[in-house]
Amino acid sequence: MATMTAPSPSLARPMPIAAPAAWKPHHNPWAIALTVTLATFMEVLDTSIANVALPHIAGTLGASSEEATWVLTSYLVSSAIVLPISGWLSNRFGRKRFYMVCVALFTICSFLCGIANTLPLLIVARILQGAGGGGLAPSEQAILADTFPIEKRGQAFAVYGMAVVVAPAIGPTLGGWITDNFNWHWIFFINIPIGLISLYLSNRMVEDPPHLKERMEQAKHLKIDFLGLGLVAVGVGCLEFTLDKGQEKDWFGDPMIRTFAILAAATLIFFTWWEWHHPDPIVDLKLLKNRNFGTAVFLQLILGMVLFGSTVLIPQYLQGLLGYTAERAGMVLSPAGFVMMIMMFVAGRSLGKFDPRLMVCLGYLVTAIGIYNLTRLDLNTAFGTVTLWRMLQVIGLAFIFIPISTLNYVGVPASKTNQISSLSNFARNLGGSAGTALLTTYLARNSQVQQVALSANVVRGSVPYNLYMDRMKEMLMSQGMSAASASQMALGQAYQEMLRQASMLSYKNAFAILACTIFLLTPLPFIMRLPTKAAKPDPEAMGGH
């Protein structure tokens, strides 16, 4: 009995079931955290930088604006396909090896993107770059979960959160500055030195824990689920294409979008059934039966909608209605990025001292209030005011992201760490794509509704309308314009002002809907279980495989 409870070191070493509990990385965990964050930060930053550079890319390569959007779509589709299968690939080929291949592929393809002189070549390079980039964030999260003990995971995920939450906020500013002062090629070239440093450090510091090596050995004797791989590639690819191009093509009014949507739905339904019954699934969907993980995946989906949706809406509002340049619009978002960096560390340090579910609840509440505050935006809002409101809006995000990322792993075997990371990252990215698509569609449709409502007031009998027209005509005639020309010009100005106000009202409504949706989710975190106090090395998570 004594030998079972306190085995000697010589006996404990060859026992695979005890290895995960005793395993510690050879290098400083914080050095490993910074190493893996480097590449993920580079990948997420590159995604938001490319958005700003699209007009420059289109002009240089002689492409239309619609054709240039394939630079983004191709990357998003490729990345979305790799995200859900990255856990399986890590188990199959080794996480360190898979991670380093992703970094190398992303870096090499960044160089190919930078030297591309035709749009087709750039799109092919972006597809390959997306394949590499898709595996970085899930691999990093899984590495951190295995490297740090449970009580320090919150602080570790604060570093990870900097990559996936802060990078989109500072990307537009950096992208605008690079494209204005150099050219768009450099938004890809800046990845090369970072990628090479990341490769060198990863090779030196990152290592696979024993339970993962054991899992990799077991995987060698299992048949590859080629059908599952094909289904997830087609299903996720078609879904991402539908979300990205839906509004541009008028959704189901376009036969191509209808075809891709039906194909996505049919393929993903069959994929779910196939993977559920497969002995060695590509994506372990049965993990969603775990109360914590199932809830966390849903919350990550909503977090993606909030994070990416608001990051898209605010620059669009500033550029479309207030006439900001891309760089100046990015400058509104950047201070919020630094606020998030500070709050990430605050949330990480607070995690062990407070109920993480309460932190998520309060995080959603603060975020809902912050987004609802954005409904006060108008056509005369000052730069400083928008910047401050954006900073207030992101304060709660860290208190959502870090506790959810930590609660993900409660009661789940250590052998499933890779699958958990890939599924949660996929949920957040899918939420981002869906949120952006839905909000963009809502803005376009609601703007038309607002135009109809406002146009009811633009009649000759309306006193405010007549006063506006008289003032405009007087101003134009004072500049030397004839009465007839001034009347026509004033009419055009009135119409443009109505369009701007209709668009402004649709943005206000979009922010209000987003805020209400988030507020309704505040009780949901309490469905999740707390990690048990006794689980310092978490026997369930460590020995459950």
Q: Angle at Cα 86 formed by Cα 341 and Cα 543, nearest 5°?
A: 85
Q: Angle at Cα 123 formed by Cα 118 and Cα 129, nearest 5°?
A: 125
CATH of the domain at 153: 1.20.1250.20
What tokens does 315 get? Answer: 């620059």
* Per-residue pLDDT tens digits for 321-366: 888 876 787 778 778 878 888 888 888 778 777 788 888 889 889 9
- Is 18 a domain residue? no
The answer on pLDDT for 147 being more than 50 is: yes
Q: Which of 357, 359, 391, 354 is nearest to 374 (CA)?
A: 391
Question: Which H/E stretch holds residue 148?
Answer: none
The more confidently predicted of residues 517 and 457 is 517
pLDDT of residue 11: 40
pLDDT of residue 445: 84
pLDDT of residue 57: 81
The more confidently predicted of residues 122 and 469 is 122
pLDDT of residue 322: 84
Q: Do residues 145 and 163 share a domain? A: yes
Q: Do residues 267 and 165 share a domain? A: no
Q: Do residues 95 and 120 share a domain? A: yes
Q: Do residues 361 and 501 share a domain? A: yes
CB within 8 Å of 472: residues ≥ 6 apart: 486, 489, 490, 493, 494
Instruction: Give the residue carrying structure tokens 């404990």.
Output: 12
- Is 160 a domain residue? yes
pLDDT of residue 543: 39
What tokens does 26 get? Answer: 């050879």
12-21, 266-275, 403-412, 519-528: segment of lowest average pLDDT:
12-21
Band (220; pLDDT cuts 50, 70, 90): low
Q: Which of 175, 489, 436 is nearest to 305 (CA)?
A: 436
- Is 450 a domain residue? yes
Q: Angle at Cα 445 formed by Cα 439 and Cα 451, nearest 5°?
A: 125
The answer on pLDDT for 253 being more than 90 is: no
The answer on pLDDT for 82 being more than 80 is: yes
Q: Do residues 261 and 175 share a domain? A: no
Q: Do residues 316 and 169 share a domain? A: no
132-136, 186-190, 394-398, 425-429: segment of lowest average pLDDT:
425-429
pLDDT of residue 283: 78
pLDDT of residue 106: 92
The more confidently predicted of residues 481 and 276 is 276
What is the pTM (predicted TM-score) of this model? 0.74
Band (17; pLDDT cuts 50, 70, 90): very low
What tokens does 507 get? Answer: 């943005």
Which of 218-222, 234-238, 404-408, 538-542 tops mean pLDDT? Answer: 234-238
Query: Helix crossing, 70-93 with 136-147: angle to 10°?
Result: 40
Band (221; pLDDT cuts 50, 70, 90): low
DSSP label at residue 415 = G
Containing structural domain, residue 135: 25-222
Q: Which of 154, 171, 435 is nearest to 303 (CA)?
A: 435
Band (536; pLDDT cuts 50, 70, 90): very low
Other Cβ atoms within 10 Å of 89 Cβ, number = 23
- Is 544 a domain residue? no
Which of 76-90, 207-221, 451-465, 482-496 tops mean pLDDT? Answer: 76-90
Q: Do residues 78 and 99 share a domain? A: yes
Cα separation, 387 vs 376, whole angstroms: 13
Q: Do residues 240 and 318 share a domain? A: no
Helices and strands, counts by H and E, the chain:
25, 0
* Per-residue pLDDT tens digits for 299-331: 888 878 877 777 778 877 887 788 887 678 777
Q: Do residues 218 and 231 share a domain? A: no
- Is 11 a domain residue? no
User: 206 near 143, Cβ under 8 Å?
Assistant: yes
Residues in the chain: 545
131-145, 147-161, 255-269, 433-447: segment of lowest average pLDDT:
147-161
What tokens does 305 get? Answer: 């909608």
234-243, 256-265, 305-314: segment of lowest average pLDDT:
305-314
Cα separation, 284 vs 293, whole angstroms: 12
Q: Provide the domain count of the chain.
A: 3
Band (369; pLDDT cuts 50, 70, 90): very high
The more confidently predicted of residues 25 and 209 is 209
> Torsions phi, psi of 302, nearest 5?
-70, -40
- Is 88 a domain residue? yes
Q: What is the mean pLDDT of the chain?
A: 78
Dihedral sign, Cα of residue 127, residue 215, residue 289, residue 18: negative
Q: Which of 170, 96, 80 is nearest to 140 (CA)?
A: 96
CB within 8 Å of 5: residues ≥ 6 apart: none
The more confidently predicted of residues 20 and 227 is 227
> Torsions phi, psi of 537, nearest 5?
-90, 10
- Is 13 a domain residue? no
Q: Do residues 515 and 498 share a domain? A: yes
Q: What is the dihedral of CA 348, 353, 354, 355, to 10 degrees?
A: 90
What tokens does 50 get? Answer: 């490319």
What tokens does 452 get? Answer: 């109809």
Mean pLDDT confidence for 146-151? 76
Whole-number percent of the chain with pLDDT over 90? 4
Band (260; pLDDT cuts 50, 70, 90): confident
The answer on pLDDT for 25 being more than 70 is: no
Q: Do residues 441 and 348 share a domain? A: yes
Residue 313 C-beta-side C-alpha neighbours within 13 Å: 35
- Is 5 a domain residue? no
pLDDT of residue 400: 84
Q: Which of 243, 237, 164 is nearest to 434 (CA)?
A: 243
What tokens does 396 get? Answer: 């709660």
Helix runs in 206-247, H state only:
210-219, 226-245
What tokens does 390 get? Answer: 């954006």
pLDDT of residue 107: 92
Amino acid of residue 505: L
Q: Do residues 95 and 77 share a domain? A: yes
25-34, 58-67, 264-273, 528-537: segment of lowest average pLDDT:
528-537
Helix runs in 278-373, H state only:
291-321, 326-350, 356-373
Band (531; pLDDT cuts 50, 70, 90): low
